[in-house]
Amino acid sequence: MERRTFIRSSAAGAALAGLGWPGRLAANSGIPASAKPLKIKKSLKFGMVEEEGTILEKFRLLKELGFDGVELDSPNNLDPDEILEAKKESGLELPGVVNSAHWSSPLSDPDPKVREKCVKALEQSLRDCKLYGGTTVLLVPGVVNQGVSYADAYKRSQEEIRKVLPLAKETGIKIAFENVWNNFLISPLEAARYVDEFDSPMVGWYFDVGNIVRYGWPEHWIEALGKRIIKLDIKEYSRKKQQEEGIWKGFNVELLEGDCNWPEVNKALEKIGYSGWASAEVPGGKRERLLTISQKMDAIFKNG
């Protein structure tokens, strides 16, 4: 899609919105007539574990503290045999991996060699996830900045991701786009459209609840994205801290103590029939800190 074509299609999309496109969007969200209660499995990011020990010892600790799974970065320098043995011995699941190249080598970069590096890393992530028995690779699809226009980020990222879809289909691993502070896909309707334009069951959305609070309401995104949501990242955000201390300070608040309206988030998740993984992405620590995170996640999904 050339720049002028992108602009024309964006304008057409806006016109369609006025003629009922949001209604068709809701129909495509897969919202069931009657939703079932939430069934959430708890996970977190492996880098949050600051206890010393082997991979097996860390996996056993997480299982003991009530976590059902853990997500690793990929590509990584860990021994795959050790990971698989730790998974087997601990009973901890590996629901997915987080691509480790999408920030340093974004798929929206003007340099084809940089984009190729991320594509190769994404391919490795798909293979690693398959090996670990997971189902998704978390991917930040692109970054918009002064040197990368919105239109170029849209076009480049979709072109590069399409190159990897055959391998995604071969491995059975889905690519899940995450909403982050990347100045890209900052509307839920646009995010849904971005997913739908691939016309592939191998892509979806990895919804980060806390990341939205700065400029929106998570429950609105959940209803708009619907069945496109494959997994959840759980963090908190305080608008008060943002206003008084700075934009990044908004994250410096414990789960359940910020502006995420968890009861409304849970209602929205119930409405779309979501059941699956929720992964904490907050400052980690040793045993006591990890236990606190586990307990707060229990409270979030029990009290909603």
Q: How confident is the prediction along the chain (304 residues), in pLDDT tens digits per residue?
A: 444 444 344 444 443 344 344 444 544 554 444 445 689 999 999 999 999 999 999 999 999 999 999 999 999 999 999 999 999 999 999 999 999 999 999 999 999 999 999 999 999 999 999 999 999 999 999 999 999 999 999 999 999 999 999 999 999 999 999 999 999 999 999 999 999 999 999 999 999 999 999 999 999 999 999 999 999 999 999 999 999 999 999 999 999 999 999 999 999 999 999 999 999 999 999 999 999 999 999 999 984 4
Question: Residue 72, Cβ neighbours under 10 Å: how many?
Answer: 21
Partner residues linked to 207 by β-bridges:
232
Partner residues linked to 177 by β-bridges:
139, 205
Spell out the long-range contacts of 242-251 with Cβ–Cβ below 8 A and sequence spacing 24 or more.
Answer: 242/214, 247/214, 250/213, 250/214, 251/210
Question: Residue 3, Cβ neighbours under 10 Å: how many?
Answer: 12
Q: Is the CATH code 3.20.20.70 the one for domain 34-302?
A: no
Predicted TM-score of the model (pTM): 0.88
Please name the residue ranges forming H helices in the chain: 3-18, 21-28, 55-64, 80-90, 112-132, 150-171, 188-196, 209-212, 218-225, 239-245, 262-271, 287-302
Residue 16 CB partners (closer than 8 Å, separation 6+): none
- Do 46 and 36 contact (CB within 8 A), yes or no? no
